[in-house]
Amino acid sequence: MGHVPVLLDEVLSALQPKDGETYVDGTFGGGGYALRVLASAECQLYGIDRDLDAITRAEALAEQHPGLTPLLGRFGEMDDLLSTVGVTVVHGIMLDIGVSSYQIDEGERGFSFMRDGPLDMRMGQTGPSAADVVNLMSASDLMTIFRQLGEERQAKRIASAIVARRKTEPFTTTLDLADCVETAVGGRRGKKTHPATLTFQAIRMYVNDELGELARGLAAAERLLAPGGRLVVVTFHSLEDRLVKQFMRERAGALGGGSRYMPEVAKGPAPSFDLKRRKAIEPGEAETRDNPRARSSRLRVAVRTDAPAWADPVSTGKSVPPLKVLEAAL
């Protein structure tokens, strides 16, 4: 089955596509958002994805949709990617954070504890895999990752069990890891969710540096958007939503920074975004009934002002061991 886009109508009405404008879909996936945008205006759309499978789909679609240009790469470096095709300013950017159903449903990609497959979890096809993380990192680093990125309460117990088990045999498959985590926490104990859910989430976020990518993507969007340009971000859990909310509120001066109208008396830089609404948009009952994956989705939108992009980097608010340490060990 393909990927059912989440909050599609809401994304469209936040982006407000117009003829002659240029947009970026930083997470092309199955192209659900991109195709709706291309159908609603005579525009140019750059579809970025770090997954070669998604870009292969995009290339096939581009044959019927001349406004679509696929770009393989990470949205965290979207301004560099776009500059390779001569684009330096755009009117709208969409990000739909996380993995697609294509990736989850394909056992070979190693994302799911419900399907057996190699322990991979990389959205792109490079860098350390999930197997490298669980087979090579120290118990204390694993614990930090499970705690920080999974908010897993039993992080210590799970990390110790992984390190004990790999002494006899390294982990190679998803079900192998899922079983180890389940045993470590004493089984399912009547819980609705699998006991390895948060551990898998944490490893996936770590392997793909998802929070780092989001932070860099927001800053890149700030640099690329024209005044009046719309930034539309859909997230699926609280760590990501918090980061987007914090960024938008900070850049809108809602955290006690500068004022667009009185920059000379302001403490910080002039606001680079306007918040059209403070609260996130959530899916309605019908959508969560038809698509349970939509349940935890949140959409936030901000409109670029004419103030310069802030020099301050965007913080993820988390500290996990750098992925580079693992890259060096491989």
Ligand X SMILES: C[S@@+](CC[C@H](N)C(=O)[O-])C[C@H]1O[C@@H](n2cnc3c(N)ncnc32)[C@H](O)[C@@H]1O
Instruction: Examine residue 49 and tell whether it contacts ligand X (CB under 6 A).
Output: yes
- Of residues 31 and 110, the one with the C-beta less far from ligand X: 31
Instruction: Examine residue 47 and tell whether it contacts ligand X (CB under 6 A).
Output: no
**Bridge partners for 44 per DSSP:** 22
SS3 state of residue 9: helix
Instruction: Examine residue 5 and tell whether it contacts ligand X (CB under 6 A).
Output: yes
Question: Residues 31, 92, 128, 269: which binds ligand X (CB under 6 A)?
Answer: 31
SS3 state of residue 149: helix
Instruction: Examine residue 111 and tell whether it contacts ligand X (CB under 6 A).
Output: no
Q: Say how far apart CA 307 and CA 272 lie, in whole Å.
A: 5
Contact 164, 207 (CB under 8 A): no
Instruction: Examine residue 128 and tell whether it contacts ligand X (CB under 6 A).
Output: no
Contact 277, 288 (CB under 8 A): no
DSSP secondary structure letter of residue 280: P
Instruction: Examine residue 33 and tell whether it contacts ligand X (CB under 6 A).
Output: yes
Instruction: Examine residue 305 and tell whether it contacts ligand X (CB under 6 A).
Output: no
x/- mask, ligand X, residues 176-215, rule CB under 6 A, reads -------------------------------------x--
Question: Residues 17, 47, 92, 98: which binds ligand X (CB under 6 A)?
Answer: 98
Q: What are phi and psi for residue 15, nearest 5 degrees?
A: -75, -30
Q: Say how far apart CA 5 and CA 220 lie, in whole Å.
A: 24
CB of 277 to ligand X, least distance (A): 21
Sheet containing 22-25: order of strands: 68-72, 44-49, 22-25, 90-96, 225-235, 298-304, 273-275
Name the segment binding ligand X (CB under 6 A); options: 13-21, 47-55, 224-232, 298-306. Answer: 47-55
Name the segment binding ligand X (CB under 6 A); options: 96-104, 112-120, 256-264, 300-308. Answer: 96-104
SS3 state of residue 96: strand
Torsion of CA 184, 189, 191, 196, to 10 degrees: 10
CB of 286 to ligand X, least distance (A): 18
Question: Residues 15, 22, 23, 30: which binds ligand X (CB under 6 A)?
Answer: 30
Question: Residues 76, 253, 271, 283: which binds ligand X (CB under 6 A)?
Answer: 76
- Of residues 127 and 268, the one with the C-beta less far from ligand X: 127
Exposed (0-12), middle (13-18) or buried (19+): which is 261, by Cβ within 10 Å?
exposed
Question: Residues 12, 57, 69, 75: which binds ligand X (CB under 6 A)?
Answer: 75
x/- mask, ligand X, residues 263-302, rule CB under 6 A, reads ----------------------------------------
Q: Say how far apart CA 296 and CA 290 lie, in whole Å.
A: 14
- Residues in contact with ligand X by CB under 6 A are 3, 5, 26-27, 29-33, 48-51, 54, 74-76, 96, 98-100, 123, 213
